Amino acid sequence: MKKSELLELIAGDEIRPVLEIASRCATALQRDDFQEDILLLTSQWENLDREERSGSVSREDLQQNRNAVKKGLITLVSSFPDELNITIVGEKPGKEKKIAGIEEGRFKRQIFFFMLAAKAWIVYWILFHKNTGGFTSGEALATISLLLPAFTAYTTVMLGDIIRHRHRPVIPKEFARHVSRTLQTVTWIVFPAYVLALHCIIGEKAAGTLADNAQANYESMTAWLAIVESAFGVYVGQIINEVFKKEGK
């Protein structure tokens, strides 16, 4: 890995991976002064994360302090050789660090394409029932209009993250951020359950089993859709906003 790539990562707010790589480089260079500086910067960055979670500092002060850490890290990395050796002294060749969870970039791509596929499927499902008589044209249009804002909000956040990071250099796998197995499991329970619930409600409405007459049947569907959005939508939105948040931390 090159020093210039580390500087690009800092510019892209990928501070944690840079701190880990810098620590590995300092060990390989046998520079105790570099290691001490990295430990200090890492401690400061972790303290800022704790302050953000506790809400004990204003956003302006938080950003100012983060910029100070980034500036210090830039100064430190600028002192490194142009070509970086990130092999730890004494580590056995070929020995790989076991990492729990899935790489965050891969996880993001999975969520993005799943949500696109889910959005396309729900729209298709509504149009299918329109063509088979389960929905009138007005009901189909109204239902799609009801569901699109949430899906659009989710995909907008995800697409924005992809666009922001389109020029990000590749981070070595062992230094890349990873998503825990717990979050991965919860995500692949909540997301399919959310889409399946929408699928079933739309199907029940088309079959006319939600109420005794057409008007009540459609109103029952919209009520159930609102319940699903309240029950699952909050969790889906929380996961997406957390995984695709703007600042690299």
Q: What is the distance between the alpha carbons of residues 21 and 87, in angstroms, rounded to a whole number?
A: 10
In a domain, residue 168? The reply is yes
pLDDT in tens, 210-221: 888 888 999 999
pTM of the model: 0.61
Q: What is the distance between the alpha carbons of residues 193 and 179, in angstroms, rounded to a whole number?
A: 20
**Last residue of one domain, picked from the residues 78, 93, 114:** 78
Residue 87 CA, distance from chain mean position: 29
Q: What is the distance between the alpha carbons of residues 54 and 105, in angstroms, rounded to a whole number?
A: 27
The larger pLDDT score, comparing residue 227 to residue 245, is at 227
- Whether 71 and 136 share a structural domain: no
- Whether 33 and 107 share a structural domain: no
Query: How many domains would you assign to the chain?
Result: 2
- Whether 116 and 71 share a structural domain: no
pLDDT in tens, 40-87: 998 988 888 888 878 777 888 888 888 898 898 888 888 888 776 655
Which of 226, 182, 176 lies closest to 201 in space, CA to CA? 226
Largest CA-CA distance found in the chain, in angstroms, rounded: 78
Domain that holds residue 235: 102-243
- Whether 234 and 179 share a structural domain: yes
- Whether 54 and 109 share a structural domain: no
Q: What is the distance between the alpha carbons of residues 244 and 161, in angstroms, rounded to a whole number?
A: 6
Task: Please check the confidence at residue 172 and state whether its pLDDT lies above 70.
Answer: no
Over pLDDT 70: what percentage of the chain?
A: 85
